[in-house]
């Protein structure tokens, strides 16, 4: 499954299928302090969005995530380890009881199942940045989710927004 972003900014975009059917809407009003990202998900069989999650961004302490009725400290939600070009990798446990790892790559983030019993960790999701081609068609950014990740789709989208935001901030700071 591919979810296409209609902008280059994961904190302010719509995620839609290839046919244009929107499934998530992410908004973050501009504020100097106290920014809150709201994530809405389309209600199946209805043409409207319902509240899914909120991320209250913090700069000195960990951000807060309100998701599924819980108020979660993202510093405790993610286990940090290793080191990528733009920060430490982040692992989290999904409702299916399995641990997943967002690897902070040079160009984008990738999500893997963190199963030590397997010789190779299976890829679950991958962010593809937009490509700009001066002589051909541009390609929009999209979040590719393999079939193994479809059962935790909401968790992938919510954690992707957090992780890719951190990765982009580090990328910007390194320039």
> What's the pLDDT tens digit per position in 94-113?
999 999 999 987 778 899 99
| Predicted confidence (pLDDT) at residue 175 exceeds the cutoff of 70 | no
| Predicted confidence (pLDDT) at residue 147 exceeds the cutoff of 80 | yes
The alpha carbon of residue 148 and the mean position of all alpha carbons in its chain are separated, in whole angstroms, by: 16
Average pLDDT along the chain: 88
Whole domain around residue 27: which residue ranges? 2-174
Map tokens 């989290």 to a residue.
Answer: 92
Give SS3 for 104: strand
The residues facing 40 across adjacent strands are: 25, 51
Instruction: Kindly report the pTM of this predicted structure.
Output: 0.89
pLDDT at residue number 82: 78
Name 40's Cβ contacts closer than 8 Å, sequence gap at least 6.
24, 25, 26, 27, 49, 50, 51, 52
Tokens matching residue 10: 């994961």
Query: Domain count of the chain?
Result: 1
């Amino acid at each position: 499954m591919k979810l296409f972003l209609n902008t280059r900014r994961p904190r302010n975009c719509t995620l839609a299928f290839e046919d244009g059917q929107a499934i998530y809407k992410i908004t973050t009003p501009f504020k100097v302090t106290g920014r809150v990202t709201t994530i809405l998900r389309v209600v199946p069989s209805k043409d409207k969005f319902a509240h899914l999650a909120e991320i209250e961004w913090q700069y000195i302490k960990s951000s807060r995530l309100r998701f599924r009725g819980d108020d979660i400290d993202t510093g405790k939600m993610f286990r940090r380890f290793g080191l990528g070009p733009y920060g430490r990798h982040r692992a989290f446990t999904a409702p299916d009881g399995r641990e997943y790892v967002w690897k902070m790559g040079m160009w984008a983030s990738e999500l893997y199942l963190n199963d030590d019993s397997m010789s190779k960790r299976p890829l679950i999701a991958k962010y593809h940045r937009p490509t700009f081609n001066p002589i051909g068609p541009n390609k929009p950014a999209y979040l590719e989710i393999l079939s193994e990740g479809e059962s935790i789709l909401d968790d992938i989208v919510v954690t992707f927004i957090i992780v890719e935001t951190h990765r982009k901030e580090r990328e910007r700071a390194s320039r």
